[in-house]
Amino acid sequence: MIILAVESSCDETSVAISKNGKEILSNQVLSQINIHQAFGGVVPEVAARNHIIHMTRLFENALTEANLTPRDIDLVAVTYGPGLIGSLLVGINAAQSFAMAHNIELIAVNHLIGHIYAAQIESEIIFPSLALLISGGHTELILLKDHFDFTVLGSTLDDAVGEAYDKVAKILGLAYPGGPIVDQLAHLGKPTYSLPIPLSKDQTYNFSFSGLKSAVMNLVNKTKMKNEELRINDVCASFQEVCVKTLYDKTYNAIKEYQPKQLIIGGGVAANKGIRAQFRQENLKLPVVFAPFEYCTDQAAMIAIAAYYQYQKEGALKKYSLKASPTLSI
């Protein structure tokens, strides 16, 4: 089964083609990071306009790279949420038009489920599995009982972990997106600043990162007011240590309670070196599957893979009429 998938939920325009739920024949990704950097974050209207400019070319590039024509496509998949409404609408309209014009079935995929299925590209999901989804918009612990039989155990009550990384980077005067930069600097510093562990006494699987972000802001302000030197690498190391610890402790407790056969870690923040070092099989005593680096951040290959399994369970949409769902959860 050949699936063409479209992803445009935030600031990456992407079209991918997969074969039989495993092989990626093409994964065209156009990042708008350079454009949004000037604003210190993603500007929704600018993101949507840029998706419009590049979408058609990415369809053509994907088909050319896969050496296929529209007649070869069995199913069109598209992210319908969560994400930025304008950005989602561009992908939905492009996918819908392409499917309708070529009389191909259409399926709507949840972006978060896409991030989980990124793990299926180079590994195999073994059920029951626990997924830790850490991105710029989400921080979730999800129990996977079977394909498309998921229970959310906990999620963030405020900022997502990637969002906290990006905001801390901004406080420190670093470029956007700050996550990879903070990660890099953390490795050059030592965790010598004391920062609070979020929800340290909380027994649920929920997360919180906005208090931690505020603690970094207070630390920076106080240091400036006292005219003391701010050791930026050490701030990054201290912040990263707390993020890794809070994610690790909650995940560890969920593993103890639910006894999954595997842990999957996906989403943009799964690229983090500190997280990759801590969440090792030896520490957790169970197989840990990280989404491959190139499939951690947003791209359509993960949507194509998720669509394959979703189609086996639920089939395609009955009509070419799909609404965007900006605040969709799992």
Where does this chain bind Zn ion (CB under 5 A)?
135, 298
Q: Contact 95/51 with Cβ under 8 angstroms?
A: no
Instruction: Tell me the C-alpha distance between 301 and 15, whole Å.
Output: 8
CB of 178 to Zn ion, least distance (A): 16
Instruction: Tell me the C-alpha distance between 263 and 130, whole Å.
Output: 5
CB of 92 to Zn ion, least distance (A): 16
Instruction: Tell me the C-alpha distance between 226 and 229, whole Å.
Output: 9
Nearest to 109 by CA among 134, 76, 69: 76
Q: Which does 177 bind (CB under 5 to 8 A by kind): ligand KG4, Zn ion, none?
A: ligand KG4
Closest to ligand KG4 by CB, 189 vs 267, is 267
Segment near ligand KG4 (CB under 6 A); pick from 54-62, 189-197, 221-229, 264-272 = 264-272
Closest to Zn ion by CB, 118 vs 263, is 118
**Contact characters 150-169, ligand KG4, x per CB under 6 A:** ------------x--xx---
Residue 161's alpha-carbon distances to 61, 76, 279, in angstroms, are: 33, 31, 16
Closest to ligand KG4 by CB, 27 vs 272, is 272
The DSSP code for 207 is B
Q: Give strand pairing partners of 263.
A: 130, 288
Instruction: Tell me the C-alpha distance between 140 and 316, whole Å.
Output: 27
Is residue 82 a contact point for ligand KG4 (CB under 6 A)? no
Closest to ligand KG4 by CB, 63 vs 137, is 137
CB of 172 to Zn ion, least distance (A): 24
CB of 178 to ligand KG4, least distance (A): 6
Can you tell me which of 92, 121, 271, 330 binds ligand KG4, judged by CB under 6 A?
271
Q: Contact 109/92 with Cβ under 8 angstroms?
A: no
Tell me the two tokens of residue 288: 């840990």
Is residue 260 a contact point for ligand KG4 (CB under 6 A)? no
Q: Contact 81/328 with Cβ under 8 angstroms?
A: yes
Q: Give strand pairing partners of 15.
A: 6, 28
CB of 84 to Zn ion, least distance (A): 11
Is residue 183 a contact point for ligand KG4 (CB under 6 A)? yes
Residues whose CB falls within 8 Å of the CB of residue 110, separated by 6 or more in sequence, listed in order: 79, 80, 81, 82, 306, 328, 330
Determine what percent of the chain falls in helix, strand and coil, rounding each to the nearest 5: 45, 20, 35
Is residue 298 a contact point for ligand KG4 (CB under 6 A)? yes
Sole residue written with tokens 């956007």: 176
Tell me the two tokens of residue 4: 């063409």
Residue number of the CB closest to ligand KG4 reads: 268
Can you tell me which of 86, 179, 189, 198 binds ligand KG4, judged by CB under 6 A?
179
Can you tell me which of 86, 137, 189, 260 binds ligand KG4, judged by CB under 6 A?
137
Is residue 135 a contact point for ligand KG4 (CB under 6 A)? yes
Q: Give strand pairing partners of 288.
A: 263
Residues lying near ligand KG4 in the complex (CB under 6 A) are found at 10, 135-137, 162, 165-166, 177-180, 183, 267-269, 271-272, 297-298
